[in-house]
Amino acid sequence: MARDQRRYDAVLLDAYGTLVELDDPFARLRAAVRRHLAAEVEPAEAERAFREEMAYYSGHCHLAGDAEGLAALRADCARVLLAELGIEAGAEAGERVLSDAVSFHVLPDVEPLLAGLAESGAAAAVVSNWDFSLRRTLAGVGLDFDAIVTCGETGVRKPDPRIFLEALGRLGVEPGRALHVGDSRDTDGAGAAAAGIDARILDRTGAGGGRDTIAALTDVLELL
């Protein structure tokens, strides 16, 4: 598709909940605790502890801009997890438990979207509140993008518009020629708007409603 036939030259995408999700993390956590710590954890307890760890990670991932920062963040997350579980264990054991609990899979509408964007000639980029290792994580599940920008690299988290503008700067695309898609109105929608970028909120349940909501990533292709 020629540029003058496209509405957008780039599509920016959130990562977690938009491109990838965790594989049954609560069951994986219970199995990891059993394997590494010889302890049993009830399902509700595992879910509560893992959600606390996720909340801690979300609030601190912008500090993990290099290998040293990431190692410190992972150690802190493991400590939070074990504390919430009420289990006393060494740092290495806690990190092994957390590592085993975390595994990602690609959501089913991602690859059709990326194929459609490639065919149209529009760039695809990721803008995410994630540590600097996101590029390696996405490559590990077979995903590649024209640019990947994280809060770990930039030191700023969505909805700060600077993280969006950093991605556009790397792509050489003006805000008015870009669309951002994510699953949070507060971070994705507000941040994109502050940067002057059109946004769509992804709600795969189809219950969201509203002109700015889409039910599948492939709906983006109709907006190009």
pLDDT score of 159: 97
Q: What is the dihedral of CA 14, 20, 23, 25, to 10 degrees?
A: -10
pLDDT score of 211: 83
What three-state secondary structure class fits 219?
helix
Residue that is last in its domain, among 102, 137, 167 = 102
Residue that is last in its domain, among 71, 102, 133 = 102
Percentage of the chain modeled with pLDDT above 90: 93
H or E stretch at 165? helix 161-171
114 shares its domain with 211: yes
Domain coverage including residue 28: 24-102
62 shares its domain with 30: yes
Q: Is the pLDDT of residue 3 over 80?
A: no
Residue 156 class from Cβ within 10 Å (0-12 exposed, 13-18 middle, 19+ buried)? middle
Q: Is the pLDDT of residue 209 over 80?
A: no
Residue range 81-107, pLDDT digits in tens: 999 999 999 989 999 999 999 999 999
Buried b (16+ CB within 10 A) or exposed e, 76-107: bbbbbbbebbebebeeebbbbbbeebbebeeb
The count of structural domains within the chain is 2
Both tokens of 107, joined, read: 């959501």
Residue that is last in its domain, among 57, 79, 102 = 102
Mean per-residue pLDDT of the chain? 96
Tokens 């509405």, located at residue = 7
143 shares its domain with 49: no
109 shares its domain with 211: yes
CATH number where 170 lies: 3.40.50.1000
